[in-house]
Structure 1
Amino acid sequence: MKKLLSIVSYVFHPMFISVYAVLLYFFLTDRYHPYQEVFLITIQVIILTILIPISIFYFLMTLGKANSFMLSEISQRRIPLVVNTILLYILITQSIRIELIPELYYFFFGALVSTILAFLFIFINLKASIHMIAISAITVFTIGFSLHTQTNHLYLVAFFVLLNGVVATSRLSMKAHDTKELIAGFLSGTLPQIALLYFWL
């Protein structure tokens, strides 16, 4: 069971959640998007939220500024979170603009706010769970998208709600976070997304 929970932590690593959200949108939307647009946006998201962060992570490892893919030490989070903030800003200003795909724009805008919150928590020595930020954010996005399209995605919503508990259990099992850090992550992920629902629902 512990090994399975560890796998969950990697499969639903925050780096991958952005790609899952994009694929979820294109799979569920009733709006038409040309294949070339779907491909281009997906590739841009992969580059900005996975490939560049991984490259920077390994660069930080060579400098001795990071020792784990999970960034277990709070002091190791500053640079990755700043970099992620910059990359998300580039994404919503240059790629997924509000006039192009408002649903994804507000999702990534919410992700930007959540990342800033996680960075600010560092200054009060609180290591908010980025895993919980990511999984709770995509959960709210899925619920909002279900309401937006007026389509019943009950099973998908239930899956993500359940996944919040599984991811939280996984992080506790790996001793990566305590309950306070998981709650901080959950609130940091859900509240910006809930607040932004007003603008695209």
Structure 2
Amino acid sequence: MKKILPIFSYILHPIFISMYATLFYLFCKGDIFTNQEKYYVLFQILIITILVPVLFFMLLRSTGHVKSVMVHETSQRKIPLILQCFLYILLVKRSIVIMRYPELHFFFLGALFSTILALIGSLFKIKASLHMMAISGFTVFVIGLSIHLQMQNPYWTALMVFLTGIVASSRLVMEAHTNKELLIGLALGIFPQMLFLYLWL
């Protein structure tokens, strides 16, 4: 089991959560959008939340500013988190606009606030689990969207809670975080999403 759990730290890496959330959103509201629009949205998410951060990470790694894709040191997190903030702002301002994609818009807005809080924490050398922050925010979004669309399907919620536990276990097995850091990440992911739920739920 200890050999399997670390795999989830990569499968559920924060860099992929935006894509997973978008896929879930488009799946749940599939009748509203054309296939062409779905592909266009997914392409934007792919470029902005995955390809750009990966290229930027490669640049930072080549210059010695980061050592690992997991970015363990708080001092190495500042630049990636600042970039992530700007990318989320770009998304909510230009791509995932409130008039067309209200629920997804507020998810990314919540993710932006979570990232800002994580950045502030890193400035004070407070380390939060970014994995837990991402997966817990995604979990709240799935639960909120399930309620909003009256999906009557408890399996999505159960799956997300299970995956949150798996990610926490994975980070502990890899000795990447302490329990405190996992709880901080959990709180940073949940509370901004909960606050924005009131605006669209």
| Aligned: 1:195 with 2:195 | yes
Contact 1:30 1:149 survives alignment (8 Å): no
| Aligned: 1:8 with 2:14 | no
Contact 2:88 2:112 survives alignment (8 Å): yes
> Which residue of the partner structure matches residue 83 of structure 1?
83
In the TM superposition, structure 1's runs of 4+ consecutive aligned residues that sit over 6 Å from their partners are none
| Aligned: 1:72 with 2:65 | no
> Which residue of the partner structure matches residue 151 of structure 2?
151
> Which residue of the partner structure matches residue 97 of structure 2?
97
Contact 2:98 2:105 survives alignment (8 Å): yes
What is the root-mean-square deviation in Å for CA atoms of aligned residues?
Answer: 0.9
Gaps in structure 1 of 5+ consecutive residues: none
Contact 2:78 2:123 survives alignment (8 Å): no
Q: Deviations over 1:154-188 (max 9, x none)?
A: 01110100111110011011011101110110000
> Which residue of the partner structure matches residue 111 of structure 2?
111
* Whole-angstrom CA distance in 1 between matches of 2:176 and 2:104: 30
Contact 2:113 2:192 survives alignment (8 Å): yes
Gaps in structure 2 of 5+ consecutive residues: none
> Which residue of the partner structure matches residue 48 of structure 1?
48
Q: TM-score, normalised by structure 1?
A: 0.98
Contact 2:8 2:167 survives alignment (8 Å): yes
* Whole-angstrom CA distance in 2 between matches of 1:23 and 1:154: 18
* Whole-angstrom CA distance in 1 between matches of 2:166 and 2:49: 23
Contact 1:78 1:119 survives alignment (8 Å): yes
AA aligned to 2:194 is I
Q: TM-score, normalised by structure 2?
A: 0.98
* Whole-angstrom CA distance in 2 between matches of 1:3 and 1:84: 30
